[in-house]
Amino acid sequence: MNKNSSAKERVAELTALINDHNYRYYILSDPLISDFDFDQLMNELIGLEKDYPELLESDSPTQRVGGEITKNFETVKHVYPMLSLGNTYSEDELREFHERVVKSIPDEKVEYVCELKFDGVAIGIQYENGRFKRAVTRGDGIQGDDVSTNVKTIRSLPLRLKDGNYPEQFEIRGEIILPRATFERINEERIDIGETPFANPRNSASGTLKLQDSGEVAKRKLDCFLYALYGENLPFPSHEEGLKAASSWGFKISNDRKVCQSIEEVFAFINYWEKKRPELPFDIDGVVIKVNSIAQQNELGFTAKSPRWAISFKYKAESGSSQLLSVDYQVGRTGAITPVANLSPVPLAGTIVKRATLHNEDQIVKLDLHVDDTVFVEKGGEIIPKITGVDLSKRKANSKKWNSSTNVRSVILS
Ligand code: IVH
C-alpha cells in the first residue's frame, strides 16, 4: 500500500471516529473519551489534511472550527418555501383550531405532536447523499442567506449522517439557538470590551449567525434543534416517525415532545412546559402543535401564509410591577457601564426577581425614571429581566427625576 492510500484510509477512519465522538458528546451527552484524547484525534486529522490537501473534504470535522470569512452571504432560493405558523395565546383559539381540524377530516382520529417552540433563528439545511450541503436562513420565506460556513461550526449538527436509510436528497429544518449560559458569557465579554450586550439569546443567536468570521462563530457555541423534514416522496406516514428517523441519522431532535391523542392532552403538555420552562437551559416561547399524520396534513393543506395542520401556542411574557429601590452601576473592565436596578422582590416566571437591567443611561432617560418609581418588569425570552416601563399611576407627587450622578448607590467593578 502506498503512503497516499494509507493516509486516505486514516483520514476516513479519523473522520468517522471524530464524528461518532461528536455525536456521543453533543447529542447523547455520553462521551466515551476525554477531551484530551478527542483533541489528539482532531490534531492528527488536521495534520494529515495539511500534508495531503487533496484529502480535505468540505464536510470534514476539522471544518467546524471555522476560519472562513464571508463578506456577503449569497442569497439562495428555498427549495420549499419557508412558511411560518399561525399563533395564539388563547386556549379558546386553540380549541377552535382543533375543531377546524376535526371538521376537515371527519370520521378519522386526529393525533397531534406537541413540541417545544424554540426561541431562536429558523434554518433550513440541505443534505445530499448523507452529507451536509448547505444551510439557508428564512429570509423572506422565498429566499434566504446561505450561512453554511457558520452553521457548520455547530457541533451537534452532523456533517455526515450516520448509516441509515436516509433519502438521497432532503432538507431538514430547525431552530438555531444559543443556550442561556452561553448567552450570559457572551454578554459579560461584550460588556467588558465596551460593546452593547445582546437583549436576549435569540438576538445573540441571530447576530452570531450573521458574523463574517466563522472562527468567531465557532467560539460562540450555537446549538440547533431540528423539527421538520422536507423532500420528494419521503417514506414516513407520520411526523413523529420522520423525527425518529432523523434522530437515528444523527440529528438533534428534542425528546421533550409528545404524541397526544386528544386536545386535553395537548393542554396538559402546554401547562406542564409553562411551569418547567425556567428549568430548561435554553429559551422557548411556546409550544408547537402539529397534526401527526402526513396524509391528514396533506388533506388540510395550507393557507397563503401557513399550514392549516399546525399552530403555535405562545406563552405570555411574564411581567409584573415592583418598586425601584436603587440602581447599581456595573462597570466592565473596559469601562462600559450597565445600570442594574435593585427592586422589591417580585415573583416572575418561576423565580423571584430582585434585579433587572436598565441596559444603559439612554434607557433611563427614555423611561423618564424617577426616584421611588414603581416599574414594570418583564421576563420573556430573556433570562435577565428588564424594566420595560414606569407605572405612572403610582408615581408619587413631587418625586424627583432619577439622576445618575447623585442617586448612585454603588459602583460594582467586575
Ligand atoms: S414547525 C410550516 N416546530 O417558530 C412551519 N417551528 O412561528 C413549520 N419554531 O417558523 C415550523 N420551534 O422558526 C416548528 N418545534 C417547532 C418550532 C418551530 C420553533 C419556529 C420556526 C417557525 C416559527 C413559527
pTM: 0.82
- The residue to which cell 438521497 is assigned: 168
Determine which helix (DSSP H) or strand (DSSP E) holds 22, and give its type and residue range: helix 3-26
Angle (deg, nearest 10), helices 180-192 and 201-209 = 70
**What local confidence, expressed as pLDDT, does residue 68 receive?**
80
d(CA 343, CA 361): 18
Percent of the chain residues past pLDDT 90, beyond the cut: 66
pLDDT at residue 71 above 90?
A: no
Per-residue pLDDT reduced to its tens digit, 322-350: 999 999 888 877 777 889 999 998 877 66
Q: What is the mean pLDDT of residues 378-399?
A: 80
Written as one letter, the residue type at 136 is V
Kindly state if the Cβ of 83 falls inside 6 Å of ligand 1.
Answer: yes
> What's the distance, Cα to Cα, between the start and end of the chain in Å?
60
Rg of the chain over CA atoms, in angstroms? Answer: 25
**What local confidence, expressed as pLDDT, does residue 382 receive?**
56
**What local confidence, expressed as pLDDT, does residue 205 receive?**
94
C-alpha cell at 361: 443611561
**What local confidence, expressed as pLDDT, does residue 414 receive?**
54
pLDDT at residue 76 above 80?
A: yes
Q: What is the mean pLDDT of residues 385-398?
A: 86
Kindly state if the Cβ of 291 falls inside 6 Å of ligand 1.
Answer: no
Concatenated DSSP letters of 201-231: HHHHHHHHHT-SBHHHHHHH--EEEEEEEE-
If one looks up domain 3-62 in CATH, what number appears?
1.10.287.610
What class has domain 75-314? alpha beta
d(CA 139, CA 84): 12
Q: How confident is the model at residue 93 (pLDDT cuts 50, 70, 90)?
A: very high
Kindly state if the Cβ of 126 falls inside 6 Å of ligand 1.
Answer: no
Which residue's CA is the closest to the ligand 1 atom numbered 5? 84
**What local confidence, expressed as pLDDT, does residue 383 receive?**
64
Q: How confident is the model at residue 193 (pLDDT cuts 50, 70, 90)?
A: confident
Kindly state if the Cβ of 318 falls inside 6 Å of ligand 1.
Answer: no
Q: Which CATH superfamily groups domain 318-413? A: Nucleic acid-binding proteins (2.40.50.140)
pLDDT at residue 1 above 60?
A: no
Q: What average pLDDT does the chain have?
A: 91
Per-residue pLDDT reduced to its tens digit, 150-172: 999 999 999 999 988 999 999 99
Q: Which residues pair with 134 in a beta bridge?
A: 126
Catalytic residues: 117
Written as one letter, the residue type at 388 is T
Ligand 1: residue of 80, 85, 243, 251 to mutate (most ligand atoms within 8 A of CB) is 85
Domain ranges of the chain: 3-62, 75-314, 318-413
